[in-house]
Structure 1
Amino acid sequence: MDPIGISALALSILSTNITKNEINKVASRTTITIVIAFFVVIIAGEFVLKVFGLDINSLKVMGGLVLLLMALSMISGNTKFKAEEDAKQNEELAIIPIAIPIVFGTGLFSTIIIFKHEAKTFLDLFSISLAYCLNAVIFYLIFKNSIHIKKLLGVTGQNIITKLMGLIVGALSIQFIISGIISLTKVYL
């Protein structure tokens, strides 16, 4: 998750004259949606993989590629998403497209499945869930205050943070791709 980058992106999608009260509602709905999506994926994600006959390592490679594309987009600054303000209300935009797929997209889906697959004990699963929920709270607080953060950081500050997060996401994506390819090579060769 890139709460600052996503907040900046969300502000470009939402109405330009959005009030602080409206941004609070959007932040709440978005956060609730991504937390529900997380628990659906952590509970039923592997079942979905089995239904479609997918290997976790294939998902690692694909998830790594998706994360890599996201990272490259963050680094290059090509994260513009336009929506028709008149056609949708801000609260509707909180769920689609902000929560899903901008915040909780295929990259996050893949990451959750991969981390769950690597979890050995219940404590590991609890730690993953706690870490995600803490990230969701941080996301909520940043998104809720994104108007103030936007003024404080300015455009340049937001761009710098988004690019740094892009580098971290890119490094994680490369690890997923290499790990998945090595595992698939051992299975199929």
Structure 2
Amino acid sequence: MESFFSTFLQEAITFFAIMDPIGISAIALSILSSNITKSEINKVAYKTTLTIIIAFFVVLIAGEFVLKIFGLDINSLKVMGGLVLLLMAISMINGNNSLVSNKDRKPNEELAIIPIAIPIVFGTGLFSTIIIFKHEAKDFIDLISISLAYCINAIIFYFILKNSIYIKKFLGVTGQNIITKLMGLIVGALAIQFIISGIVALTKGYLA
């Protein structure tokens, strides 16, 4: 039981850091209409959260199958996924995000699925992390841990995005930037672990 909670906590923190709900909520607000109402943002939060939950289970169930179709090694994905996470972490720490200025004239509810849910929230970083976590899972209990950790973060994301207007006023730009930079450090550390783990495994495989 102690091992379960330890693994669950690690997965939950990892998902939270990659999702960066407070930082993403600021990006979402920059894409949505400046005069968006509370009712509209509630709908956007609901649609976005539902989309990322569906995407999670699709990747959890079919992700490794896709890798097999293309003949890709999970350790290669670890290295590539780690590099993607590392670039994401550097961007978070530097405070750079090209998606912030991506103004779109579509209705707010349409923007909830693309680009907010995919690829802003559920991008290559989450995709790689989910597949790696699943590959490392030893039994069904581990899969429950991964699913629970992700779904709890999805719910947290929902409430943060739903109340993002108030959170932005409370934290201000400086507060949001500080949190995003801290999450960037965690994502960066995770990226290094993925890269080293993947390289070591690939090296052993080629030398064997």
TM-score (norm 1): 0.97
Structure 1 residue 89: Cα displacement = 1.0
Partner of 1:24: 42
Are 1:74 and 1:163, in contact at CA under 8 Å, matched by a contact in 2? Answer: yes
Offset from partner CA, 1:25-82 (integer Å, 9 cap, x none):
1110000000000000000000000000000000000100110111111000111423
Which of 60, 84, 96 is the matching residue for 2:114? 96
Partner of 1:175: 193
Task: Give the total of aligned pairs.
Answer: 188
Quote the Cα distance in structure 1 between the aligned partners of 2:27 and 2:89. 15
Partner of 1:72: 90
User: Displaced runs of 4+ in structure 1, greater than 4 A?
Assistant: none
Structure 1 residue 188: Cα displacement = 1.3
Offset from partner CA, 1:100-130 (integer Å, 9 cap, x none):
1110001100000000000001000011001
* Residue type at the aligned position of 1:152: F
SS of residue matched to 1:16: coil
Quote the Cα distance in structure 2 between the aligned partners of 1:84 and 1:182. 42
Quote the Cα distance in structure 1 between the aligned partners of 2:121 and 2:206. 34
- Give identity over the alignment, percent: 82
Quote the Cα distance in structure 1 between the aligned partners of 2:48 and 2:87. 23
Structure 1 residue 85: Cα displacement = 3.5
Partner of 2:15: none
| 1:47 aligns to 2:65 (yes or no) | yes
Quote the Cα distance in structure 2 between the aligned partners of 1:185 and 1:89. 50
Are 1:9 and 1:80, in contact at CA under 8 Å, matched by a contact in 2? Answer: no
Partner of 2:102: 83
Q: Residues 101-120 of structure 1: matches in 2 within 5 Å? A: 101-120=119-138
- Runs of 5+ unmatched residues, structure 1: none
Quote the Cα distance in structure 1 between the aligned partners of 2:97 and 2:27. 7
CA RMSD of aligned residues (A): 0.8
Are 1:71 and 1:169, in contact at CA under 8 Å, matched by a contact in 2? Answer: yes
Quote the Cα distance in structure 1 between the aligned partners of 2:149 and 2:174. 29
Quote the Cα distance in structure 1 between the aligned partners of 2:134 and 2:125. 14
TM-score (norm 2): 0.89
| 1:61 aligns to 2:58 (yes or no) | no
